[in-house]
Each structure stands twice: as structure tokens, then as C-alpha cells.
Copies of this chain bind each other. A is one copy, B any other.
């Protein structure tokens, strides 16, 4: 951001039409935006960002905290968190965590500004959401409350949660309403996670209840991107969600071997290893 001090008076200093000193009110609003984007900020950072004294930032933060939007700490502010973490969820998330983060980052880079996308429920797909926070003009449809919460404060992102029944002890929505919402939408891309991806049988899943939602996502999207860590490749499971011919792109980790991915490449699927 370009900072122009108030007392630097130049009559015709309209440069690219943006005036760069802020109303106190606007500054407070932007502080909130800033912290929502980056989750945390120091007083010094904010003072520099907005070109004001740290005392001013402290005064602003005191007011903002009073309003309840953010939580102050020594040295800065953080977002008031929704951390009611499920142990089993965390456990799953920590298996191949590094790989999943890389996959999420790469998958997020496949999303272009202005697109509407579907993000499936899952630990890997959640990392896609995390990497979309700073993006703008994107609509995300998801059946995962974690994804929704992750993107809740992202100013450039509109979040639509499919309705449905809360799958026991998870943050995932399923059932008739989910299917109905997905059936009435069309998006550019769908990012689908999976516990089993087989060279012959394609996308598979052990739980029949969850199959229709995934199939609905696949039907609703023009391009299907499957994201999964390397350990799921080659696995079999009970139900076939979709054949490999429905998949356009596969994002996995560098841990996946050439042999793992070759069958998919041969079927015309673009494979990325993050």
C-alpha cells in the first residue's frame, strides 16, 4: 500500500484515483479485514501498513476488541477462533499432513478468479480452502462445515453450504437436501477427495451413504479434479463413485511413484505431483 501523509499537501495528487489516507473508521474496518485474511497481525505491522503511529493502532484495537470482532494479544491481534477440534478429525488430518498441504496449494492454484467451484468434504480438500483465502471473486460450494468456516471471513469469497444431515461426529453434510442443492447447480470445477482411487475402478468409497453427494458434485461440475495423497492410489473400496473416465485432473504428492500415476495418465488424466 502506498502511504501519503496528510500534511504532504499537493493539490493535484490524485494518482490512479485512489486517495491514500484513511478515515479512522475505514482504517478500523481495514484492520479487521487484514486480520481476517492473515489470521494475526502485530501492532507494528499494522502501524506500518496504515502509516500511523502505534499508539493509534492500539487505540483502534482497543475499540475493535470492545466491539468483539477481534481478540487482542500482547504485540498484536488475532482472530477469535472457532476451535472445537475433533480428535479423530485431527488424527486423520495429521497423516500425510505435509503432503496434503502441498496438494491443497497446488489444487488451489488451478482455481481462477471469477470461477465457481465445489470443494468436497475432507482433510485434503480443506487445505484447498486454506489456500484460497486471499483470492477474490470466487464462489465456493461445499458440504463441509470446516471448509465453510475456513472461508467465512475471506472477503473475496462467497460460500454456499449445501444443506443436509450432519454425518455423525463429523462436519460433513449429506442426504436428500445435499443432493438437491448439488442437482440445481453448475460450476466450473469440482475438487473431490477420496479414500480410494483405483486404476481400473476409478473413484471408490466404503460408505454408501456418502456416495450420492460425491456423485452429485461430479455431475454438477464441468471439470473434475481429484485430490488425494499417494497412499490412496491403487486402493479398492466397496462402492464405485465414478469411473476414471469422469476424472479430468488428479493432484497428488511427489510421494506417488511413476507406476502409481501412469495408468491415470494413460487414460488422459492430467496428473500433478505437488
Tell whether, in the assembled complex, residue B10 and residue A11 are in contact, meaning their CB atoms are under 8 Å apart: yes
User: SS class of chain A's interface: helix, strand, loop or mixed?
Assistant: mixed
What's the minimum C-beta distance from A154 to chain B, rounded to whole angstroms?
10
- Given known pairs A11-B11, A87-B67, A180-B180, the reply for A24 and B148 (CB within 8 Å) is no
Q: Tell me the complex Cα distance, A250–B168, Å.
A: 32
Q: Tell me the complex Cα distance, A149–B94, Å.
A: 21
- Protomer copies: 2
Of B19, B145, B160, the contact of A145 (CB 8 Å cutoff)? B145
Q: Tell me the complex Cα distance, A153–B171, Å.
A: 10
Tell whether, in the assembled complex, residue A163 and residue B165 are in contact, meaning their CB atoms are under 8 Å apart: no
User: What is the interface size of chain A, counting residues whose CB is below 8 A from a CB of the partner?
Assistant: 65
Contacting residues, chain B, for A180 (C-beta < 8 A): 180-181
Does A84 make an interface contact (CB < 8 A)? yes
Segment at the interface with B among A70-78, A192-200, A203-211, A231-239: A70-78
28 intermolecular pairs with C-beta atoms under 8 Å apart: A10-B11, A12-B15, A14-B48, A19-B44, A19-B45, A21-B42, A23-B73, A23-B78, A24-B75, A25-B78, A26-B39, A26-B40, A67-B87, A67-B91, A68-B88, A80-B90, A145-B149, A145-B161, A151-B166, A152-B170, A160-B166, A161-B161, A161-B165, A161-B166, A163-B163, A163-B178, A163-B181, A180-B180
Q: Which residues of A contact B (CB under 8 A)?
A: 10-12, 14-16, 19, 21-26, 29, 36, 39-40, 42, 44-45, 48, 67-69, 73-76, 78, 80, 82-85, 87-92, 94, 145, 148-149, 151-153, 158-166, 169-171, 173, 175, 177-178, 180-181
